[in-house]
Amino acid sequence: MEIEARSGTPTCLIETPEKTTEVAAVGKPKCGDPAMTLSRRRSRSVARKSFPRGSRFEHFRGFLTTTLAVGSFVWCFCSGRALADFPSELLRGRTATPIQHLVIVWGENISFDHYFGTYPRARNLPGETPFFAAENTPHPNNLLTPLDPTNHFEPIAGVDLLNRNPNFLNPANGAGAANPFRLGPSQAATQDQTHFYTPEQQAVDNGLMDLFPKYTGAAGPPPALPLAAATAGQVMAYYDGNTVTALWNYAQSFALNDNAWTTVFGSPTPGALSLISGQTNGVAQTNGVSNPNHETTDGNGGITLIGDPNPLNDVCVPESDQADHITSGAPISIPDHALMAGRNIGDLLNDEDISWGAFMGGFDLTITAPNGTTGCTRKSDSIVPGLPWSFVDYIPHQAWFQYYESTANWSHARPSSVRAIGHTYTWVPGERGKEPKRVRDPANHQYDIHDFFDAVRVGNFPAVSFLKAPAVQDGHPAYSDPIDEQHFLVDLINFLQRQREWESTAVVLVYSNSDGWYDHQASPIVNPSSGKSDVLNGKGICNRGAQQGTAAPAQPLLGNDGRPAQGRCGYGTRIPLMVISPWARRNHIDHTLTDQTSVLRFIEDNWLHGRRIQPGGSFDTIAGPIDRMFDFRGDRDDHRPRTLFLDPDTGAVIRPES
């Protein structure tokens, strides 16, 4: 649905799956209505020259329409002058920063030290993709150079985490006692470690960080070597720049945060809900089945979600059970299903007619994969030879918005057209000369990952996009791996850098949880809990960690019902957080205290004037900003990287910074 710049009566194009209909822009609907013009499409594309949020312009024959946006006037000549003629400074729209398109890439189950434990030093063994850091590369807080976040990130002297690690020295770890050890690209496949709410707290051992093999470790093979990998000591493994080469190269050219955390302890679903709502309390409905690793009491008669129940009503979740469709090995039984109360960021974006979408691998049930799989059991093949697992593309318990009735698409209905992607409503032609009709798009902002690429290719780039790769490419141990994950990330970022909208785009890479992988740094506790599942500082106690300037508050944040809720102890475990954008700082390590809801806060600050999900209750109200990972100065360094193209197979640079 595009504006046609031509002489005579201005028109709008209404696109349906069957045909495109031209409608004169007079009467109702107006070209300025949602989904009829670029003005309310909310893509905010500098390349497409979208109009700012809040505009209500009408196209009159032969007239000039003036729209006010952030104190600037944008002139749209509907007959004759193309929108692309206008300078980008006038058409940025009402965002607080130059970022018009935010792409959030949701990785799975990685701790910071698991991927960046020795950054920027790689071993560079023969036959592996080499990595050599720039001379001025800053060092993060990791296994190689431990820093003290409780003391302004000063270096810690006299500590050898690689050779005399507390998890090796603690006899309570038994046969799993091990020092951190490197895995290479030929050892990409690993076991899934334990990452429930309570075991993660037990591994921390009241801040000693010395019981990971005992409480979160899982034995291999794979991999078979080194010998520690065949024990619970596998939890101590890490990769370097010869395996996660793309991520290390992106860190060289953009911004990496080494003080980012899961909002609460636990597995992927609490992380997913935190990302979009900042709230894991308030289970509104279940199927009557409970799991102590997934739900806990909140102290007020309600339920806090601490694990991975499946979303109730999703067609890919059978009522009786949901086995996640693993095709080899023992199935993961997830019989408990839940829906959440409260609002999420999708609701707030809808309130403002800002385009957004959640793009999940495997969500489109109409596609048949090359291997013949389709529907809920469609799966993509790994590029890693001999990967011992096979997993379906779509994993319901990782689908952020499916837990909320207001933003769910439980039937996986398809969008009415590519142009409708990102929008709540669409227009369909009227019958027998009647006016077009405004209808709710059936997809309700929930799409497959291919829909994101399809929409961007036709210039329909949503303002806010949540992306999760098909399972085999999301990085989750036991069914994905760093090599497949790298392919997805590099293909995506190479694609985005070729778009004209790249100059106003930011990609944020954030992870759902740590998977239980060892990370040497204890978290600060910003929200305490004294629930039955808490053990961080003793039985029923989680109120003290490596505090960064302030003690934990005496009372937890409010739950969905407005009362302090238990079962939300956080911050949890340390995870990678990266910003890849022309506006990102170059080769920068950010020490700002952040968590998953810091990404939520950026959306709220950039598009919603700082509006929060639940003041006093949601974590976005206390989250640190990611702003310091950007450089929004007008006089920024002209030599900063605009693009960095990598090889998806190796992660190596194929086109240097430009």
Residue 181's alpha-carbon distances to 165, 202, 226, in angstroms, are: 11, 22, 8
Dist. CA 510–CA 520, nearest whole Å:
19
pLDDT value, residue 4: 29
- From 438, 433, 417, select the one nearest 18 (Cα to Cα): 417
In single-letter form, the type of residue at position 212 comes to F
> Which residues, in sequence order, are bridge partners of residue 255?
579, 588
Task: Answer whether 513's CB lies under 8 Å from 573's CB.
Answer: yes
- What is the distance between the alpha carbons of residues 391 and 396, in angstroms, rounded to a whole number? 13
Smallest CA-to-CA distance from 124 within 184, 212, 43, 169 is with 184
**pLDDT value of position 341:** 97
The kind and range of the H/E element at 588 are: strand 588-590
**pLDDT at 56 (0 to 100):** 29
Task: Give the whole-angstrom CA distance, residue 470 versus residue 373.
Answer: 13
Looking at the 3D structure of the chain, how many domains does it have?
A: 1
* pLDDT given for residue 633 in this prediction: 85
Alpha carbons 374 and 392: distance in angstroms, whole number: 9
Report whether 223 contacts 628 (CB < 8 A).
no
- CA 46: distance to chain centroid? 24
Residues 6+ apart with CB under 8 A from 277: 340, 342, 343, 344, 345, 404, 600, 613, 614, 618
438 contacts 75 by C-beta, under 8 angstroms: no
Residue whose token pair is 């077009």? 436
In a domain? residue 15: yes
Would you say the pTM of this structure is higher than 0.75?
yes
Range of the domain at 89: 1-94
Asked whether residue 236 is assigned to any structural domain, the reply reads no
Q: Euclidean distance between the first and final Cα of the chain, in Å? A: 34
Compute the C-alpha angle 548/554/559, nearest 5°: 105
Beta bridge partners of 256: 578, 589
Cβ(242)–Cβ(129) below 8 Å? yes
Q: Shortest CA distance to 311 belongs to which of 330, 292, 283?
A: 283
Peptide bond into 222 cis (omega under 30): yes
- Tell me if 22 sits within 8 A of 50, measured CB to CB: no
Assess if residue 510 is contained within a domain.
no
User: Which one-letter amino acid corresponds to residue 404?
Assistant: Y
In angstroms, the CA 233 to CA 214 distance is 8
pLDDT given for residue 94 in this prediction: 86
Predicted confidence at residue 430, as pLDDT, reads 81
Q: What is the pLDDT of residue 436?
A: 86
Beta strands in 453-586 (DSSP E): 464-468, 505-511, 577-580
Taking alpha carbons only, the member of 370, 293, 300, 367 closest to residue 332 is 293
Q: Which of 228, 147, 153, 245 is nearest to 191 (CA)?
A: 228
On the 0-12 / 13-18 / 19+ scale of CB atoms within 10 A, 222 is buried
Beta bridge partners of 577: 257, 510
- How many Å apart are CA 590 and CA 526, to the nearest integer? 19
Report yes or no on 222 lying in a domain.
no
In a domain, 90, yes or no: yes
**Burial (CB count within 10 angstroms: exposed 0-12, middle 13-18, buried 19+), residue 136:** exposed
Structure confidence at residue 634 (pLDDT): 64
- The H-or-E segment that residue 602 falls in is helix 596-607
d(C-alpha 491, C-alpha 227), whole Å: 35
Helix, strand, coil fractions of the chain, as percent rounded to 5:
20, 15, 60
Radius of gyration of the chain (CA): 25
CA distances from 471 to 399, 403, 492 (A): 12, 19, 15
CB 531, CB 567: distance < 8 Å:
yes
Structural domain includes residue 517 = no
pLDDT at 16: 36
Query: Does 5 fall in a domain?
Result: yes
Structure tokens, 277: 């709502």
Q: From residue 46, give the alpha-carbon distance in Å to each of 91, 101, 105.
A: 7, 10, 22
What letter represents residue 317's amino acid? Answer: V
CA-closest candidate to residue 102, choices 625, 648, 600 = 600
Q: Tell me phi and psi for residue 67, to 5 degrees.
A: -120, 135
CA distance 474 to 468: 7
Please tell me the distance from the alpha carbon of residue 399 to that of residue 394, in angstroms, as a whole number: 8
Distance (Å, rounded) from C-alpha 616 to C-alpha 593? Answer: 19
Does residue 480 lie within any of the structural domains?
A: no
User: Which residue stretches of the chain have pLDDT < 50?
Assistant: 1-93, 319-331, 639-641
